[in-house]
Amino acid sequence: MSKNKTTGHKAAHSSQRKKEVEARSCIRYRCGLTNTIQDVLNHRPGWVEVKDDAEWDFNWCDVGWLRENFDHSYMEEHVRICHFRNHYELTRKNLMVKNLKRYRKTLEREVGRLEAAKCDFFPRTFELPSEYHIFVEEFKKSPGNTWIMKPVARSQGKGIFLFRKLKDIIDWRKDGSRSEEQKDEAQVESYVAQRYIENPYLIAGRKFDLRVYVLVTSYIPLKAWLYRDGFARFSNTRFSLSSIDDQYVHLTNVAVQKTAPDYDPEKGCKWQMQQLRWYLTAKHGFETVQTLFKEIDNVFIRSLLSVQKTIINDKHCFELYGYDILLDQDLKPWLIEVNASPSLTASSQEDYDLKYRLLEDTLHIVDMEGRLTGKEKRIGGFDLMWNDGPVYTDVGLEALGSSCLVANTHLGCVNDREKQLQQLLKPFPGQKKT
């Protein structure tokens, strides 16, 4: 197809989409959650909530609803839903590691070790009870090291503990040796055993991790957006390896930290991503921090590519992932986990404002109203990071020279979204600008 024809086809498609939107007097949405997303949907002009079995155009559901209903739902062309069918390939701890290991092996075989080394951002991990014997071999190679046990399908720090002795996890070994019939009677909960990062980067003596938001609107081709804002979640207690049983030292989950006796809800335990980037730049310099954030970008891209062929792509689906990244003393980023349902419940007014903006911009990108061209590289606080290949920024390319390509990612940078959205989102004829 010639370029002119392609352009004409895209314009016709955009025009058709707008006609479809105008034909519907409103966008009917269903929402299975009662937090910030409900507020964002309520305030969106022309959107109306429907209940129970009524027909809907947009569904922000939880993963339980998806599991029970997705396969039985007929969806028209325009309909959108907030999860991919088998999202768990990236968001279950054991499957994420399995897919990353497989992807790394493929890269080593097809491209070489140097390329495969770019996937070395997750700790040594084994699934228990199924990989217990392989785990024991690895454990014995480095006695005295700290390991962390996590249930593969739980969140908010539930069921997690640290250990240094095999006897602490003997129950999983017993479960792993049971017969198939016995397993059917009472399903063993799978865990991952993971090398604990013993040298985390500390600020004021406290451990923290990063929560970063990535929006995927398509897997084939892969199209992924990175949000500029995010936050660092701090533990409430100073870090020490002498107390491996103290969750307040080792787990940064807000659900855990807010139960600490000296937790201050007004002060909270979060820093905005901009604040963290400023701090690190002041301490380590611009170049070092620029390199760190490029390595964090690499974590997002490689993890998404590792499941690209596994996730069932569907034009009706999109997914807002919450990535958890830990930095060590050498400023190396480690991928801890990816969440399919990152918490949208606010822990403070500042947290509410961040999540409100994030969700509002997510809806702008999903574009039920048909206001976009599909060529945008930035929408509100989101920057297009990958579009069937790396995306580069347009700004300053001439000055820098054509050989100097700058990635279109701005995590922890200024988020002047209101101004950008005013320029980008033109109202329909007859519609007042909101």
**pLDDT score recorded for residue 209:** 94
* pLDDT tens profile 208-224: 999 999 999 999 999 99
CB proximity list for 274: less than 8 A, separation 6 or greater: 229, 412, 413, 414, 415
Q: What integer pLDDT is reported at residue 73 of this predicted model? A: 80
Give the per-residue pLDDT at 265.
60
* Chain centre distance of CA 350: 20
Distance CA 65, CA 60 (A): 10
pLDDT at 180: 47
Handedness of CA 203, 209, 213, 218 (dihedral sign): positive
pLDDT for 275 equals 96
What is the per-residue pLDDT for 428? 46
8 A C-beta contact, residue 192 and residue 126? yes
Distance of alpha carbon 244 from alpha carbon 247, whole angstroms: 8
202 conformational bin, left if phi > 0, alpha if psi -120 to 50, beta if neither: beta
Which residues in the chain come in under a pLDDT of 70? 1-25, 155-158, 171-188, 245-268, 395-403, 426-434
- Three-state SS string across the chain, please? CCHHHHHHHHHHHHHHHHHHHHHCCCEEEEECCCCHHHHHHHCCCCEEECCCCCCCCEEECCHHHHHHHHHHCCCCCCCEECCCCCCHHHHCHHHHHHHHHHHHHHHHHHCCHHHHHHHCCCCCEEEECCCHHHHHHHHHHCCCCCEEEEECCCCCCCCCEEECCHHHHHHHHHHHCCCHHHHHHCCCCCEEEEECCCCECEECCEEEEEEEEEEEEEECCEEEEEEEEEEEEECCCCCCCCCCCCHHHHCCCHHHHCCCCCCCCCCCCEEEHHHHHHHHHHHHCHHHHHHHHHHHHHHHHHHHHHHCCCCCCCCCECEEEEEEEEEECCCCEEEEEEECCCCCCCCCHHHHHHHHHHHHHHHHHHCCCCCCCCCCCEECCEEEEEECCECECCCCHHHHCCCCCCECCCCCCCCCHHHHHHHHCCCCCCCCCC
The pTM assigned to this predicted structure is 0.88
